[in-house]
Amino acid sequence: MNALVMYDHQTRTLWSQFLGKGVKGTLAGVELDFLPVTQTQWSLWSEAHPDTLALNKGGRYRFDTYDSYYREGSAEVLGETRSDDRMDRKALVVGGILGGSTKAYPLDLLSDMPMVNDSLGGGEVLVYLESDTDTALVYDREVDGRVLIFSMAEDGQGAFAVLVDAETGSGWLALTGKATDGPLEGRVLNRALSHLSFWFAWKDWNPDTEVY
């Protein structure tokens, strides 16, 4: 299995990035809280969040040193722990985690069908892909104890793509999960834990994963 191990300055405990958990040292077994993150393109992020700040690159970092790694087929550095050929190892998936269950949604599939109303771990989720930028998000689609079913609205593209729920007809910005009109205006969908991953890493760390 391949994933970053990091340490904290205070106790020098080693932490697994993928598990969000101390694995060696005085804080072994302690879990960090995961927070939702959006992997996307700068233009889309800055349009959706015009007041955002950006990490200062100071004129450096013009290229990503892993560009060739993203493109090539190899898992590198330690290879794979187990084989699972439901997908190519470097296929991109958005992995969702809810109620102790995990499910991988292939980006290839979502690009034909940008939005999926699905169930996961006893909860109800909405998986959304902005396919021009490979921006994939998983929301909890239960609001005030009511499960909403979403479809894409006709208008709005990119950072301003809109989802409409069948129950109230409210319009929701797909990228931020915020309702901008209708009876539920002002409400924000909770993100379920998810992140973009290569298939080989997702299935190594989550051996019991389902695949959509």
Partner 1 sequence: MDLDLAKVLLILSFIALGVAFLTVPSVQQFGRHLFTSSEQIVVPAGSSSRGVASDGGDRSLDLVTFLGFDAIPAILDPEFVTVVEANEQMDDGEQVLGVSINGESRAYSNPMLSRHEIVNDVVGAVPIAVTW
- Residue ranges that bind partner 1, judged by CB under 8 A: 1, 4-7, 12, 14, 16-17, 19-21, 23-24, 28-29, 31-32, 35-43, 45-46, 49-66, 74, 77-79, 100, 133, 176, 207-208
Token duo for residue 195? 């992140």
SS3 16: strand
- Cβ-based nearer residue to partner 1, 69 or 212: 69
Residue with smaller CB distance to partner 1, 101 or 168: 101
Which tokens go with 164?
């409409």
- Residue among 71, 124, 117, 67 at smallest CA distance from 99: 124
CB 119, min distance to partner 1, A: 17
Q: Is 57 left (phi over 0), alpha (psi -120 to 50) or beta?
A: alpha
Q: Which two tokens stand for residue 155?
A: 């208008």
In the complex, what is the shortest distance from the CB of residue 51 to partner 1, in angstroms, rounded to a whole number? Answer: 6
Pairing of strands 101-106, 210-211: parallel
- Smallest gap from Cβ 154 to partner 1, in A, equals 25
- Give the residue with the Cβ less far from partner 1, 46 or 119: 46
> In this complex, which beta carbon is closest to partner 1, that of residue 33 or of residue 154?
33
Question: CA-CA distances (angstroms) from residue 65 to 15, 46, 94, 121, 180?
Answer: 24, 24, 23, 37, 39
Closest distance of CB 19 from partner 1, Å:
4
To partner 1, the closest distance from the beta carbon of 132 in angstroms equals 10
Q: Are 140 and 188 in contact (CB under 8 A)?
A: no
Q: Which is nearer to partner 1, 126 or 196 (CB)?
A: 196
